[in-house]
Amino acid sequence: MIKLKSIVTLISCTVIAATVLGDVDPEFSYETPEYIKSISTAKALRQYVYSQNTLDRITACIRLGEIGGEASIQILIEAFNKEPHGSAAEAVKFHALLSIGKIGGARAEKFLTEIAMNYSENINNSTQAFGIKDSLAALRGSFQGLYEIGSSSTIAALDSIFKNQNYYWFVRSLANLQLLKHELRNDSIRTASDSALSLMARLRNLGGPYKQFNPNGKINEGFMVQNNIFYLIYQYRNITLPYLKEFIVELDINDPGIPSLEKLKDDMESNPLK
């Protein structure tokens, strides 16, 4: 069974991925100003992508994703490319890539795949991942954009990143998280209950426990998957909590993983989603 200390370590790292990006959290739910929300053409939004106001640039990217079309993709690519390297406005890059994924299509897929591969290859350690904040934003935006498209080729790209042992472990773990989310899109999963049961089945079938490192010093793939499943169980705790309780009850009374699972359950109960 899974050791909670290891789980907490990777959960913390994944949470860091959502919060270390500087002054602007890229996954923050932004309220689009009415003067941007009312615009219905990509061409009219282009001026806001070049605004000095960070909120204008972010919400223009979000609105372009809603409008869609090739013209929006072109402006979103501009928005991503023009942001300075190391910019404090990493959320602009994140939402530009995410919106490209939401629009989809061949050009979107090609661009996002190139970004995902290039940044995965160039980040080889934690200093590069966390020291250059916009690199992490680009990774997460491109990975989530590929997930949004959800084609066989974009999922294959994420899978190849996850399985490439030459990539930094954190990059691989971020790719795997999107793969696990994609599994929840299976046609057989239609309700919240189905999603919770799927996560529990995935955890049960994965086996383990897995040591953090392989004999060659690389992070164990099973370890990363294990912890990402736990992360999703925690993130969706309003749905998964009752199923986790049942999962624990069904274990043998002497299962060494029970204390860790009980601690996770307690953490979920102590931090309900609002």
pLDDT for residue 18: 37
pLDDT for residue 1: 42
Burial of 189 (0-12, 13-18, 19+ CB in 10 A): middle
Q: Consecutive 10-residue runs of the chain (274 residues): their mean pLDDT?
A: 40 38 54 96 97 95 98 98 81 95 98 96 70 79 97 98 92 96 93 94 82 84 90 94 94 82 91 84
CB 181 within 8 A of CB 147: yes
**Residue 270: Cβ within 10 Å count:** 7
pLDDT for residue 27: 60
pLDDT for residue 132: 63
pLDDT for residue 259: 81
Give CA–CA dist 123/170, Å, rounded: 9
Domains of the chain: 4-270 (1.25.50)
pLDDT for residue 264: 85
What single DSSP character describes residue 188?
Answer: T
Give CA–CA dist 80/251, Å, rounded: 49
Give CA–CA dist 152/175, Å, rounded: 15
pLDDT for residue 237: 94
pLDDT for residue 22: 31
pLDDT for residue 127: 61
Using DSSP, state whether 213 is helix, strand or coil. strand
pLDDT for residue 245: 96
Residues linked to residue 39 through DSSP beta bridges, in sequence order: none
